[in-house]
Each structure stands twice: as structure tokens, then as C-alpha cells.
A and B are shown apart, each in its own frame.
Chain A
Amino acid sequence: MSPAKDRRGFPGGREYPSSTLGVTSRSAKLRLQRVSKTFSTNHGPIEALREIDLEIREEEFLCIVGPSGGGKSTLLNLIAGLEQPDTGEVWCNGSPITGPGPDRVVIFQEPALFPWLTVLGNVEFGLRIRGEAKAGRRERALDALRLVHLYRFRDAFVHQLSGGMKQRVALARALVMDPAILLMDEPFGALDAQTRDLLHAELQAIWTKTKKTIVFVTHNVREAACLGDRVILLTARPGRIKREFCVDLPRPRQIEDPGTITLARMILAELKDEVRKVFREELGNGDDH
């Protein structure tokens, strides 16, 4: 039995029916089967992921936490199609993923907005690439900007916005494509705590409204407990699934809710073991030199 099967529900939370854990479930949006990925670097190969088995349901908000450098982002990039697995397969809607595509838009830690376009131009970008008519795409881009409360700033240039506003533009730029899946790679990691709290509320509201499937990578366990339906904890390198926490707390949640804090504490206790392993390994490597 692989560690991926070692799951534990959060007390007070609900256990998922076993069908969602099995191989054949109707509502599985994304499926990773025995996925491994190793990078070759100047200092030798680095095994980022080892035999990951994971299913993500339609309309699910999944958070992935783990120690830094533990392959969280690699997992997301594999789903995005920006990386290819060495072994194993990644499936989306029953077909294998071969490359990046507009059904799986990524929001990165840095907003990655195009500085030569206005806010509106950035939000329209994906629709323009898709070849949609000008009038229609403008209308939808403006709607997306209303959704993230940036309608007033539609004609601003990117460098005139704050970090939190930029990340909201990135969110609007992704949502306007109406992707089946939203992939978020520590999107709020570089923001201050107050802005992050606001964006947590905004993201939950948007998710409740649009019911996108969201895969959200973070190193912040409280963020994961606050946002996810389910939280996956990855081990230190090579990344494997260590635990799975199902969250059934009422929404909208806030980061200081007692339920969120209790769950975060549980995840953190598990995570700390992994962080210690990373730390020991780094110290060990230090002795070699």
C-alpha cells in the first residue's frame, strides 16, 4: 500500500465516499497515476515527485501543502502541462495532458502580467489569443474585472497597481477564459497579511459563484485549511502524498476561525516532521563540503 492510500479525515469533517478515492469515478476531473518526476541539475539529479496517485473531483477546491522544495509546484506544473512526468500519466477529463492549454490556466506567485497592456488588455489577452471578436471579449473582460472589483482600474497600466491588485488582475485574466480548472501556485505568497485575508474572502466568493475546480499550492497551512475542501500534505523530497485532510467547515471561512486554526494545527504537526527532514538533509549535505 502506497503512502497515498494512508488517509485520515479531519474530526468533524466528512469522509469522502470511497468512490472518489478509487480509480473509476465519474466526477474525477483530474487524475494522476503513479506520477514521478526527477530533475537533473549541476549537483546531480533531484527527485521532486515519486509515484503520486491523486484524483481531483469536478468543482473541488484542493489545497496542496508541503515543505519548500518538496515538489508542490512541480505537481502543479505537471497538471498545467508545463512539465511532463518521467513516468506515470496525468489525465484531464479522461484524456492525457500533453501540454499547456486554456482549460487549465495557471496563476503564479508573481502576477506575470504583460506590462505593455492595460489592465483591460491583460484580461482580454486569452480571449484575443482564442480569436474572439473584439466587442464580445471586451464585454466579458469588463465583467471579469467587476468580479474582482477592479472595474475602475480597467485603463490603468500594470506598474500603477499594488501587489494585491495585480494578483486580482491575474485572477480576472484567468477567470475570463472560463477554464475548467484553475491552478494556483502560491498566488498570495508575496502579499502582506491584510491583503491576503481580503483575497481569501474574494477567492472563496468567486469559487462559490463559479464552482471552478481549483488546485491551490501553498506552504501556508492556515491558508490551506481556510480555503480547501481537501488538503493534501506532501512529504519532503521526493514528494509523496503523506496525508489527506477532508475539510467540511462552513464557508465563507476566515483564517482566524477556531475550526480553521484547529485543522491548521493538525496539518502543521505533520508538516513539521517533513520540514525537520529537509533541515537535517541540508545540514547533512553541508558536512560533505
Chain B
Amino acid sequence: MATTIRRTLFYLVILAAWEVLFRLRLWPEFLFPSPFQVFRALLEGFAEQRYLVGIATSLRRILVGYGVAVLLGTLLGLLQARWRFLDETLGSLILGLQTLPSICWLPLALLWFGLNERAIIFVVIMGSLLSIAIATEHGVKHTPPLLIRAAQTMGARGLKLYVAVILPAALPSVIEGMKQGWSFAWRSLMAGELLFVSLGLGQLLSMGRELNDMSQVVAVMLVIIGIGLGMDRLVFARLATSVRHRWGLQTP
């Protein structure tokens, strides 16, 4: 409770400082809008349904791209943990590619797929696939050997051992990877949309710049933060906490 109060006060102070800075008129209004102007832009954006269309477009793209990344990434991580050969070859490639910011895939994607939906989804996939694969592989490899031996003496082997022991044991790590993958996917999507693609939140952001409408820019930024934070808090943080609690890694 005290935390909530402190946090609310903190944001009120920031808003107040923002308003004071605005009133000092240090910068022209179109470069530095007031909180109120941003709020109005936000309301207008939603009222005219521009934001709703943008949010829907961006969410559809990320759901497709991220969904594919989760499936492929988990599979890739599992294969890599299972076969040493894949780990030594593909594993090093994945680690190397992970250092490449995913937006750097955009020129390649544009040449391959053209200026369309598939190019941006490709960038989203490349943004999150690798970190999910790495986390899955890590989780599988760090399954306590004792648990595997115990399961073996109870008759578990092959696929059954994977499904009943190794996958559940890797789950906390897989979820961490999915959480990180989500934030990478979201960033990649915004970068891609900013650079070229029609509709979507990134597009609204660059439109605001072209119209010299700083309040729209800030308003869209707030929407982007809101969605990213919402997913993180409502989905992944809860998932991670419940898993950690159940596994006994964290006391409530």
C-alpha cells in the first residue's frame, strides 16, 4: 500500500514538473507539449479510432510473429539440447546472430518478401526466436541430473522422459526466455513499422513527426509503453511468479 502511494506521488511530481517546464515556455509549443495537450491527443486518437486501428494492426503482427517464434524457438532449443552436434554447430550460429539487432534483418526481408506484411513479421520472428531458443536450451541442459536418474529408475525413458521430466524442469527458464522474447519482438515490430510499414503504431509515430505534432508523438509513445508493460505485467510476470512459487524458488 505504501508502495502504491509512493509511486503515485512520484508520477504526480513528474507531471507537475512537466507542466512547470511547459509554462516556462523554454521551447516552442509544437516541440514541447503540455501533459494536458498530450492527454487530449490521446483521447482524440482513440475517439477517431486511428489508435484502435493502429493497436489492432500492431497486435495482429506481433501475435503472428511472436507465436511462430515461440513454436520454432522452443523446438530449436530442444533439438539443440538433445543433439550435441546441433549444439556445437547451430548453437554457435544462434549465439552469433543473437548479437545482431533484429531490425538489421529488415533490408534482407524487404528484398526477399517485398514491402509487405511478411517482411515485418519476419523481422519480429528474428527478434524473438533466438532468445527463446537459447533459454529453452539452457533450461533443458540444466535439468538436475538427479531428477533424470530418479525418473529413469521409475521406468521413464525416451520421449516420456522428455515430456514428464525434462520439459517441466525447463519450464521456468523457457518462460524467462518467452518474456525476454516478447520484449524483443515488440521492439523489433516498432522499429520496423517506424521505418516503412503502413498502419500500426510505429506508423502513427512517424506520422506525428511528419505533421510536426509532438503531442501525437508522445501520446503514441505512451500507448506503446502501455501495451508492452501490460503484456509484461499481466501475462509474463504472473506466469513467472506462479511457476517460481510452485517450484519453490520464491517464497510468496
A residues sitting closer than 8 Å to B (CB atoms) are: 80-82, 99-102, 104-106, 108, 110, 112, 114-116, 125-126, 128-130, 157-160, 173-174, 177, 183
Contact = CB atoms under 8 A, between A and B. Distances in A.
A105 B126 CA distance: 45
* Interface secondary structure of B, over-half rule: helix
Interface residues of B, number: 20
Contacts of A105: 153-154
Given A125-B151, A126-B154, 13 more contacts: A100-B152, A101-B155, A102-B153, A102-B154, A104-B153, A108-B149, A112-B147, A114-B168, A126-B155, A129-B160, A157-B248, A159-B247, A173-B154
Contacts of B132: none
B247 A128 contact: no
A130 to B, nearest CB: 6
Contacts of B247: 115-116, 159
B242 to A, nearest CB: 11
A112 B248 contact: no
A128 B152 contact: no
| Of listed A102, A105, A110, A114, residue having the most chain B CB within 10 A | A114
19 contacts: A99-B152, A100-B153, A101-B155, A102-B154, A105-B154, A106-B153, A108-B149, A112-B147, A114-B165, A114-B169, A125-B151, A125-B154, A125-B164, A126-B155, A128-B164, A129-B156, A158-B248, A177-B154, A183-B153
A99 B155 CA distance: 10
A116 to B, nearest CB: 4
Contacts, number: 66
Contacts of A116: 168-169, 171, 246-247
Contacts of B155: 100-102, 126, 129-130, 177
| Of listed B153, B155, B160, residue having the most chain A CB within 10 A | B153
A207 to B, nearest CB: 19
B246 A115 contact: yes
A82 B153 contact: yes
Contacts of B149: 82, 100, 106, 108, 112
Contacts of A102: 153-155
B24 interface: no
A145 B83 CA distance: 39
Contacts of A125: 151, 154, 164
Interface in B141-191: 144, 146-147, 149-156, 160, 164-165, 168-169, 171
A126 to B, nearest CB: 4
Contacts of B164: 125, 128-129
Given A115-B246, A115-B248, A157-B246, A108 B154 contact: no
Given A108-B146, A129-B160, A129-B164, A159 B152 contact: no
